[in-house]
Structure 1
Amino acid sequence: MPRIDAVNTSRAGMDLAPAHQRMRFNKLDLNLLVALDAMLAERSISRAAERLHLSQSAMSNALGRLRDYFDDELLVQVGRKLELTPRAETLKESVRDVLVRVDSAILAQPRFDPAQSDRCFRLIVSDYTSMVLVPHLLALAGRHSHTVRFELLPLLQPPLRELESGEADLLILPTEYRTPGEHPYELLFEEQFVCAVWSGGCFAHADRLTAEQYTAAGHVVMQPSGMDEPTRAGWLKRRYPGVRRIEVSTYSFAAVPYLVVGTDRIATMHGRLARLARKSLPLRLLAAPLPSPALQQTMQWHKYRTMDPGLVWLRGLLQEAVLCMDAELGAAAAATASLGGVRVLP
């Protein structure tokens, strides 16, 4: 029987499967759920067909059979686009949940051999994580396999939908961003914040920043896209305590250190990313004069996939990547965790 794959639905078939190979439940060909899931997500027959590598006629046929089964139009033409009927809206999350359950509990392979696998792992990560941790993950993975692939996805919205739909295998995000509820998570590492300043600016020879200097200075900050007030204000207050003058804001953690060069502005940054940036930029790193809570970076996965052999392997590899990351940073990373607030950081 063709696999009902909740992550890569292109591997599933509907009309392509012989009748004797179709899984049925209450007279419903369960392969049709893959087609329904694609059409509800894409709101387009042609795009759903392309996603599943089927002809448009095969997808139209599947829609006809689904309409007969549910006694509902499911997708209706409104102007130049298709809209979901109320019945389809109620089915959308349930269908996706069924596919995730089938994929994780019934069709998952009993073991995972990275050397023989061409699996693509989809991770939601920030550009900070992509720069400081993911290179070590990829290097370690390369020792085990030349065929395993990775797709790094941005955090564009609360990630609950991607996790529960199976569109993401892992979230690697701060604790505050992990999805609430029953999905398990594990701490990867903690991060402290430091102040990055231009080595040619007014703080070039300072041994430390005073609270007065910090609050009076102009600042470069990163703020997540898609946030509205008051959420944005609350996030900025927690992440950058004491900052009064935000002169430059950006959507990218990686861009922040570049935006202080040539100015007297201060950037309060993740310690590991700041040290990485200092390798190529004229920066000085100073202890933050005002307390800022440590960032806890976690990985989270779907509760149905806790025993997925591939994800068990990947989670172990990530923990190993953390050790490699901090070993490369050496004593500087250890110094980050014990800031005295009165010295230039190594």
Structure 2
Amino acid sequence: MRFNKLDLNLLVALDALLTERNISRAGERIHLSQPATSNALARLRAYFDDELLVPQGRQMVLTPRAEALLDPVREVLMRIDSTIAEKPRFDPSTDTRSFTLLVSDFTTTVFMQPLIERLFHEAPGVQVHLRAQNARPVEQLEEYGADMLIIPEQYVSAKHPSMTLFEETYMCVTWTGNPHIQGQLSFDDYLAAGHVVADYSGARQIPAFDGWFLERFGVKRRIEVTAPTLASLPSLVIGTARIATVHKRLAQRALQYGLPIQVWEPPLEIPVMRQTLQWHRHRDKDLALQWLRERAVEVAREI
């Protein structure tokens, strides 16, 4: 099908090329061979009379014309999907549907198991794919790589609808044999201890919690251990004099597993975290996603 002499099938290829900025990865994304993707790029270059992607060192970068096309092309494809591709009805007991959710390891640990269990009984034909969030989760959502995103409230985008799922507080965790903290945990004890923290960056960056802590108290925690997951923090204080500040549900789960840890109320006031569900604005009327959101809210009330 053509519109103003443009083969509309090329819009899908254009979106993949502008997003991936790599011919091989773009081809994998839309299930085309590398030669076929290269051919699509050549046709797009001819239509727009622009190179669109140009080599810069070992990478490909977008031309100014390509930068200007990036958001409008994605917007067009999303509108097509939300108005034409979606089914006018959804019956969870019989329909098949694949849902992709962007989640953290905290969400996976405390929330996804009861949600998936609920979906298994109510919608046996539904598939659920959990994907790790990158440093820009809202961009993942906007690129249509996921149906929904679960993140703390402060990271949601004002461009898309969202709702609060549940609130979470924090606890401090130490080893039961910690020689320096027995009986009570004071603020001085907290500052004196080495800290175990989660760091998703892979680089020596100050985590978000530490940015808030430094701004609030004017001091830095002494970070001695970093880990790629929040759920691992309680176990990493065992056998040491270190401390971890973790979500309350994770601390309670670690106690249920029988870890030799002591859980303390923090000796400082830490803001409550509001875990939030967000979805793309063009998917707001998707009946299947409406149903999934309702199930998520029900499960959130129970955890």
Q: Fold-level match, TM-score > 0.5? A: yes
Structure 1 partner of 2:4? 26
Instruction: State whether residues 213 and 219 of structure 2, in contact with CA within 8 Å, keep that contact through their aligned partners in structure 1.
Output: no
Question: Is residue 300 of structure 1 aligned with residue 260 of structure 2?
Answer: no
| Percent identical residues | 48
The 3-state SS of whatever aligns with 2:214 is: helix
Shift of residue 44, structure 1, vs aligned partner: 3.4
Q: Are residue 271 (structure 1) and residue 282 (structure 2) matched? A: no
User: Which runs of 5 or more residues in structure 2 are unaligned?
Assistant: none
Q: Residue in 1 aligned with 2:201? A: 225
Q: Find the residue that maps to 1:153 and give its secondary structure.
A: strand
Q: Following the alignment from structure 1 to structure 2, what is the Cα–Cα distance between the partners of residues 62 and 209?
A: 63
Is this contact kept in 2: 1:204–1:284, CA < 8 A?
no
> Which residue does 1:291 correspond to in 2?
269
Secondary structure of the corresponding residue to residue 125 of structure 2? coil
Q: Does the C-alpha gap of structure 1 residues 219 and 60 become closer, same or farther in structure 2, counting only changes over 3 Å?
A: closer
Q: TM-score, normalized by length of structure 1?
A: 0.77
Q: Structure 1 79/34 Cα, relative in aligned 2: closer, same or farther at 3 Å?
A: same
- Output the amino acid matched with 1:225: S
The answer for the alignment partner of 1:189 in structure 2 is 166
Contact 1:97 / 1:165 at 8 angstroms: preserved in 2? no
Cross-structure match for 1:331: none
Q: Answer yes or no: is 1:133 the counterpart of 2:117.
A: no
- Judge conservation of contact 1:223–1:236 (CA < 8 Å) in 2: no
Matched, 1:107 2:90: no
**Which of the residues 161, 165, 169 maps onto 2:143?**
165
Describe the SS at the equivalent of 2:225.
strand
Aligned partner (choices 289, 298, 302) of residue 320 of structure 1:
298
Instruction: Give unmatched runs, 5+ long, in structure 1.
Output: 1-21, 326-346
CA distance in 2, matches of 1:123, 1:174: 15
Secondary structure of the corresponding residue to residue 229 of structure 2: coil
Q: Which AA in structure 2 matches 1:185?
A: S
Cα deviation for residue 243 of structure 1 reads: 6.1
Preserved contact between residue 219 and residue 248 of structure 1 (Cα < 8 Å):
yes
Describe the shift of the 1:240–1:142 C-alpha distance in structure 2 as closer, same or farther (beyond 3 A): farther
- Amino acid of the residue matched to residue 200 of structure 1? G
Aligned amino acid, residue 31 of structure 1: N
Q: 1:88 aligned to 2:66? A: yes
The aligned amino acid for 2:271 is P
Q: How does 1:22-101 map to 2 (within 5 A)?
A: 22=1, 24-77=2-55, 82-101=60-79
Could you say if the C-alpha distance between residues 106 and 227 of structure 1 is closer, same or farther in structure 2, counting changes exceeding 3 Å? Answer: farther
C-alpha distance after superposition, 1:173-221 (max 9, x if no partner) = 1111212x23111111111111111122236752x32233223222222
Give the direction of change, closer, same or farther, for the CA distance of 1:135–1:319 in structure 2 (3 Å limit).
same
Relative distance call for 1:243 and 1:292 in structure 2 (3 A) is farther
Q: Does residue 201 of the first structure (1) align with residue 167 of the second (2)?
A: no
The structural deviation recorded for 1:112 is 2.0
Aligned length: 301
CA deviations over 1:247-304 (Å, ceiling 9, x no partner):
2232320121111111122211100011111122111211112111111111111111
The Cα of 1:45 is off from its aligned counterpart by 3.3
CA 1:45–1:212 in structure 2 vs 1: closer, same or farther (change >3 Å)?
Answer: closer
Partners in 2 of 1:201 and 1:79 — Cα distance?
53
Alignment-derived partner of residue 123 in structure 1: 101
Distance 1:85 1:213, change over 3 A: closer
C-alpha distance in structure 1 between counterparts of 2:123 and 2:255, whole Å: 32
Letter in 2 for 1:186: M
In 1, Cα distance between equivalents of 2:155 and 2:217: 17
TM-score calculated relative to the size of structure 2: 0.87
Where 2:129 maps in the other structure, the secondary structure is: strand
1:228 Cα offset (Å)? 7.3
Instruction: Please provide the CA RMSD for this pair.
Output: 2.7
Comparing 231-240 and 88-97, the one that deviates more: 231-240
CA distance in 2, matches of 1:101, 1:239: 44
**Residues 205 and 212 from structure 1, CA distance in 2 versus in 1: closer, same or farther, beyond 3 angstroms?**
closer
Cα distance between partner residues in 1 of 2:8 and 2:156: 32
Structure 2 distance, partners of 1:227, 1:307, is 40
1:251 is matched by which residue type in structure 2? P
3-state SS of paired residue (2:145): coil
1:213 equivalenced with 2:174 (yes/no): no
